[in-house]
Amino acid sequence: MIKIKIILGCDHQGIRYKDDVIKYLKNNEIAVEYSNISNNEEDDYPDFAIDVCKKVLEENALGILICGSGIGMSIAANKIKGIRCARVVDENDAFSAKNHNGANVIAFGINVELEEVYKIIDTFIGTKSPSEARHLRRIEKINKLEEGK
């Protein structure tokens, strides 16, 4: 596996996968840091998305967000300049998110089976960033949108 750091954040629903994902990453010699936001039954997914995404940018890391569906986390994450977060449900999504769209964060829900989660993680980490002109052109258009151009 590629040497990279993963910043992980899970809300009160996603916490169900926290320990398994951390163990999986560590067993594969991947550095992992968990969000500083405390988990409780009334925590709010945007807080985790913000915390994880800021660290992803500061540390040039990749991020993984887990909540009930992955939808709310991805919406919140994509409000942060410099973040390209994709909600993924399988390893094909993880590949496209990173290789085609330059995703630096992925989000998924607890409805994704744990074995598929491991495949998603492996694919996300192991996939190269975009290099084809068509993908780079599209990402540049997204970057311009982010800049308000």
- The string of pLDDT tens digits covering residues 30-43 is 999 999 999 999 99
The dotted CATH code for 5-146 is: 3.40.1400.10
Q: pTM of the full predicted structure? A: 0.93
Q: Exactly one of 5, 18, 54, 100 is catalytic; which is it?
A: 100
Query: Average pLDDT in the 2-30 region?
Result: 94
Answer yes or no: 135 catalytic: no
- The string of pLDDT tens digits covering residues 79-110 is 999 999 999 999 999 999 999 999 999 999 99
Burial environment of residue 41 by CB neighbours within 10 A (0 to 12, 13 to 18, 19 or more): exposed
- The string of pLDDT tens digits covering residues 115-146 is 999 999 999 999 998 788 888 888 888 888 88
In this prediction, residue 1 carries a pLDDT of 44
